[in-house]
Amino acid sequence: MTDAKNQDKDQHSTAGAYVHAGEEFNRDTTYIEDRIVAEPENAELGEGAQAWPVAAGRYHLVAARACPWANRTLIVRRLLGLEDAISIGLPGPTHDARSWQFDLDPEGKDPVLGTERLQENYFERFPDYPRGITVPAIVDIPTGEVVTNDFPQMTEDFAKEWTEFHRAGAPDLWPAELEDEMRDVMKRVYTEVNNGVYRCGFAGSQEAYDKAYERLWVALDWLEERLGEKRYLMGEHITEADVRLFTTLVRFDPVYYSHFKCSRQKLTELPNLWGYARDLFQTPGFGDTVDFQQIKEHYFIVHEDINPSQIVPVGPDLSNWLSEHGRENMGGSPFADGATAPGPVRSGEEVDPAHTPLR
């Protein structure tokens, strides 16, 4: 178990991210590996993990809009139409040393869980939980106990285990014929891009930063080339691979370019990636989950070691996210035959109109 001082640092930062002088950034990827599955008796589990049964109305997804890992779950939940099956809690963009808090809700409490901080739900199950209190997390409503914070498995299980509760016309985000290649692509996207921007931002030395910067841009150049030949990462239609890349791209110019020093080029200067990002943003289920103001407030306020002034930038201008992307000329479509876009965002889950160009 970490000492109290280091535990506070973990909980006060983004998924345990913190600058350590002279060191490369290494993310703690130890998560609560329990799964929620359709057939618990047949579930493939890691050592010590438990299987929980799929059940509509039993679980509460806690997912801060500011966090890229949580943003994935918001997108997948919406694309698949799981809003009626899995309720949602939306913490504010900043948090104190204890954890993410429900400061946007009336009286500062999540209306379903009745808690002020997500930490309470972690401690309900693990009183001595030694790691950072991360989002996304799924909480068992009857007990108030956290079930899992394993975000990559979470969205995969939404797609594969919750099919009974998918909306009519839900897309197949994990096409069986593409899965092996998808996993290779997603692994590279995660290590080199999703986590690569953090490796730059939290580098503890010039040498560590230079290495991280080089790795990031090798990967972004690879993606720029790949997306010159394919409308989406895996071809003609959206898959989970696109969800996982999108949440980093949509944060690139507002945050990572400056705050994390990923500044060789802006996203808007990379023709294929910029067109691709706008194509996704303008697809229902993607841009309508993105709150640019919360994103900026989170990074620039919480990361005091990187931005001691905690001043939040006013820009950039967001109107260009709605400009024509031209990606339809490459063929394909967001969703394969038989699949459709999700309907309007449900009441109470809309992004503040002042925080998005989608007005």
- Residues annotated catalytic, as ranges: 67, 198
Judge contact between 167 and 39, C-beta under 8 A.
no
What secondary structure letter does DSSP report for 112?
T
Of 184, 67, 201, nearest to 136 (Cα)?
Answer: 67
By three-state DSSP, how is residue 232 classified?
strand
Take residue 196 and report the two structure tokens written for it. Answer: 């690569």
Nearest of 287, 302, 306, 297 to residue 351 by alpha carbon? 287
Instruction: Report the interhelical angle of 179-188 vs 240-251 (nearest 10°).
Output: 20
| Residue 132 Cα distances to 20, 32, 137, 259, angstroms | 16, 11, 12, 22
Place of tokens 């996704």: 280
Contact 118, 91 (CB under 8 A): yes
Pairing relationship of beta strands 35-37 and 51-53 according to DSSP bridges: parallel
